[in-house]
Every structure is written in C-alpha cells, then in structure tokens.
Amino acid sequence: MNESGIIQKLKKLQSIQPNKDWEAKQHSVMEAQVYNGELITPREPSRFSNFLLLFKATFSQPGIMVGTILTIIIVGGGLATYVVGRQAKPGDSLYFAKEINDQVKLAMRFDREEQNKLKLAMAQERVTEMANLDKEADKEKAEAISKEFQATLNEVKEGLTAINNTAPVVTRKKEAVSTPDNNQVKTTEDTTTNDATATTSLEDGAFSVATGQTKDGRIEISEPVNVSARQMIEEAETLFANADYDGTIDKLQAASELLDSAK
Amino acid sequence: MMSTLTSHKQPSDRLLFLRLKNKDQAAFMRAYEAYRAGIYRFIYFRVNSEAEAQDLTSSVFLKVWSVVQAGKLKDYRSLRSLLYTVARHTVIDYYREGSGGNVSLDDETAEIEVVDNRLDIQALMEQDSDLKLIYEALDQLKPEYREVIMLHFVSELSVKEIAEVIDKKPGNVRVILHRGLEALRKLTKEEEEIKQEDTITI
C-alpha cells in the first residue's frame, strides 16, 4: 500500500462517532453547566457585531497594527508629497516629488515621440510657473525654472534629431505664395512619408531649380516635420527669453500638435 | 434551544474563539456541538475505551468552559488548537494519575468494555482489510508519530495547529509526520508480507 492509500484509509477512521444517547444526554448536561440551569434562549450576535469583533481582534495584533500604521504613513505621505509636489516650483523643497512624478510618466512612455510630447507639456508647465512668479523676489527660482525649461527643450531637440537620423522622414509640404507686398506663408496639412532628407516636390515638371519657384510663382518646400517642430521650439525659446509666455506656450502647443499630426 | 443553535450558519473557528474570549455562552455551545465528535475520537484512539473517552470528552469541555468563565483564555491560533491541547493534556493527566492502564489500540480485552465504537471499528475493518492492517500498524508506531498522524489525518488539524497542540515547531511537526508516514508504510508492508506468507502456508 502506498502513502496516499494509507492516508485514504486513515481518513476512514473519521467515521467513528460517539454514542448518540450519550451525545444527547451530554448536551443537556453541558447546557445546564453553561447556562447555570437557566432556560435562556441564546441570542446570536448580529453580523455587524461579529465583524467588529473580528476587525478589533485582527487590528489589535501588534504585527498587523504596526504594518497598517506603516502602510498608512507610507501611502498617505506619498500621496501628500505627490499632491503638494504638483504645486511645487523649481527650488522648492518638494520639487523633487514633481521631478520623480515626471520621470515616472516619462518612463511609462516607450515611444520617443510620445516622450517628446510629454516633455513639451512639461516645458509648458515651466512657462506657466515662470509667468506666475514674482521674478524680482524669486530670482533663484526664476533662474532654476529657466534652466529647467531650457534643459527640457534641449532634450526634445535631441530626441527630434535622433528620430530624424533613424526613422523615415515625415515631410510636410509648405505652399508659399510669393507676393510682392508680404511674405505670408500658407500652410497646408498635406503630409507624406518618404526617405532621408528634405525633398523638393515638383509640380508637373514646371519647377525651376534655379529660382525654386513654379511657373505660377509659388514656392514649394517640403521639409521634415521634425525640422519644423525644432524650428518652433527654437522660436519658443526666443519668446521665452523675451518674457512672452503666452506666445511661448502657443509655440510649444503648435510644436506638440505638429508632432501629433506626423503620427 | 438546540434548534436555535443549529438554525444559524456555523460561524468560523476564529470568530467562535473571539466570542469565547468574551465569555459568550452561545458560542461555547456552538463550539461544543462542532468539536465534540472530533475530541471524542481523538481521546478514544488514545484511551481505547468508550466510557473513558466519554468522561474525558466531557471533562475537556468543562475545563475549557471554566477557563472561559475565568477570563483566562490565552490567544491560540484557532479554537481547534485550544480544544485539542486541552484534550491532549487531559489524556496525559489521565495516564499520569494511573486511571488508564497501558491499553493497546487493538487490545482484545478492551472489547468487553467498548460497545458501539468498537463495533463500528470492527465493522469497518471487516469491510476493509487494509484498514485493519493500518490500525494494527498504528499500534506499533512510536507514540509521537501516531499522535501527529492521527491529529493530521483523522482530526484534520493543520501542521501549525498541531505544532501548537504538541508544543513543537511546525518544521519539527512536518519531519515527524513524514517519518511517521514512512514508518507506517513500512510496517503495513511487513504486515502484508506476513499475511501473504500465512496464506501461502495454509
């Protein structure tokens, strides 16, 4: 007989039961002992009181109590740091929480373009922070925000360069109408994908390489979206330096939308 | 009163234990109903006498109730652990006081005293010759092995509960259980071989 066979047979011994008469008699004896001979109908506690009893017993255990308190401190502290950190500005003591939060958000994005868009959004936050800052009173903070803004945009530009070097180029055709009185550029959202560098789109072979114009005087320039976005970012940098924060945000927003349209 | 007690869904072992700590009479009666047969069986296999097992079972529950009333209930892993610990000590005291002789599990003379259960076991063994083999082999096992095997497979206590009952570490209990089962398997095999030889001789 193997081990499982032995165990099966041992379990059969569970069928041994006490004598029924003894059981009945003993039950009465035990009730008399427990209730002191009084004929009281026992009241079962409600589910709620049972729950309270279990709850109290569970959380009064030292290990569980310490664990619960530690969890509350860690989770509560983390949440508080996150909430307060969201309002923090560069130079604030809780700014690190915001940085960690941003790093986590970045780490969650595996697509480089998505990372660039997120960084652009972060740069916009820096601009808002700068706009709301009393620059005279908080020179150090203003400097820190500027550095942070510049660093973020530099990362985006590096990211765009990396995409340019690895991925097929997404081009965006600019239709420029040459007029004597102004140099307005009308932009159409015609995006195509082709290879390598910026290409020149010909229109029915009527394009003059020498002048860069078509017969009807239009100039067609096709350039990679990333290059356009980079230019917008550079413009945003200039606007930021000139304290035109609304303009900076608009440019960054436009750069972000441009990246979005290239997807 | 009985119907009132049994009409509700059986509360968990842990909840019963907590209610007992609050000296809850109804909880004690529920515990008594739930564990009476198990405790009786545990004692019965130790003393091998129905009358003694009945007395000792009653004694176990009365002892527990007096501890409950005195508010001296220690924190046990479960109510089962508490009851089997008290039952074990009650049996030890019973032998220490000299009330029980060194009765073998398959002692022929004990059959005169025992009526219902002995008949139950006999009937079981007549139906199942393998069970008889195991029952006889159990008697030859070291008491320590036998106790742990019975607690685990017959009383269905967990290793941790057994550790609490016999006051050993769970790791030790696992080792005892493993060795006990191995010894039981060997003994059963030997018994089988002897029986086969006897059959061939006849």
- Whole-prediction pTM value? 0.54
Q: How far apart, in whole angstroms, are the C-alpha atoms of residue A152 and residue A120?
A: 8
Q: What is the pLDDT of residues A88-109, one digit of tens each?
A: 776 677 777 777 888 888 888 8
In angstroms, the CA A167 to CA A156 distance is 16
pLDDT of residue B176: 96
* For residues B11-19, average pLDDT: 81
In whole angstroms, what is the distance from residue B56 CA to residue B51 CA? Answer: 9
For strands A185-194 and A169-177, give the pairing: antiparallel
- Residue contact A16–B44, C-beta within 8 A: yes
The more confident residue out of B128 and B1 is: B128
Burial label for B15, CB within 10 Å (0-12, 13-18, 19+), is buried
- Answer whether B194 touches A (CB < 8 Å): no
Report the SS3 class of residue B139: helix
Closest CA relative to residue B188, chosen from B149, B144, B152: B149
pLDDT digits (tens, 9 = 90+) for B170-183: 999 999 999 999 99
| Average pLDDT of chain A to the nearest whole number | 74
Q: In chain A, which among 27-56 make CB contacts under 8 A with chain B?
A: 27, 29-31, 33-35, 39-45, 50, 53-54
> How far is it, in rounded angstroms, from Cα A241 to Cα A263?
30
ipTM comes to 0.74
Bridge partners for A186 per DSSP: A175
Q: How many CB atoms lie within 10 A of CB B171?
A: 10
- Give A84 to chain B, closest Cα distance, Å: 43
For chain A, what percent of residues have pLDDT higher than 70? 71
Q: Give the nearest partner residue to A42 out of B5, B124, B135, using CB atoms.
A: B5
